[in-house]
Amino acid sequence: MKTIQVKDGSKIAYKDFGKGQTIIFSHGWPLSSDAWDAQMLFFGQQGFRVIAHDRRSHGNSSQTWDGNDMDTYAEDLSSLIEQLDLHDVVLVGHSTGGGEVARYIGTYGSARVSKAVLIGAVPPVMLQSEKNPGGLPMEVFDGIRAAVEKDRSQFYKDLTTPFFNYNRSSETPSEGVRESFWLQGMRGGIKGQYDCIKQFSEVDFTDDLKKIDVPTLIMHGDDDQIVPLADSAILSAQLVKDAQLKVYAGFGHGMTITQAGTINEDLLRFIEE
């Protein structure tokens, strides 16, 4: 993989395939750019330049003690876009990566961006509060922190069940998918992954979403067991001006992998509109 160096000296690794209009993919937690294999191949074959980076402390990027926060993730994405001098970019973010996309546009604007896509994304905010009564209680995220600290290897194996809806009769479990998820998670650094839990659960992206001024597609499964639909995509679609919301019956959080064909075709249609 290629790398760029950002201002704190960290290296951000990325894949860069194909030619044409650029699509940048931001992955979810605790994964890496490998999570986008199905999209990288498909869109590269459709004549796009496809780029997927490993968030700091994930995949092949530097494992940092500090800087594992959403503002820095967005700054790293900005550095990637600027150092490669990219324009007319389609930003696609899944889960935590959707927060990264929202924070990037909210902070750096859309001068280099043509469209945005949020898939199973965490915005506006996951944590339950008086302002967000439909969110998940802090105990849920404290439990994730405790599991990562105690035995993240086993936790990542267990997480594949709700992540890919393998506890539903509609899904046939794939050991290959499970092992890939586990491997991606274990390649990252424990400190950065531990810190990231706070970022995907507590950060409020409301103001960022309001600043998005490019055509935006919000895709979410109605059986997402990781990021519940009602407190994420439904609310985000109300905050992003003129956003398109597409809800998939029975799809879970890992639908970019388990239902890649459907997601890719719909994503292509949106990009080519």
Give the residue numbers marked as catalytic. Answer: 95, 224, 253
> DSSP labels for 189-232?
-HHHHHHHHHHHHH---HHHHHH--S-EEEEEETT-SSS-GGGT
Beta strand 11-17 pairing with 2-5: antiparallel
Q: Which residues contact 111 (CB under 8 A, 6 or more apart)?
A: none
Those residues with Cβ within 8 angstroms of residue 151's Cβ, 6 or more apart along the chain or in another chain: none
Measured CA to CA in angstroms, residue 166 lies from 140, 195, 252, 257 at distances of 20, 27, 9, 13
Query: C-alpha angle with apex 138: 142 to 157, nearest 5 degrees?
Result: 45
Count of all residues that appear for the chain in the document? 273
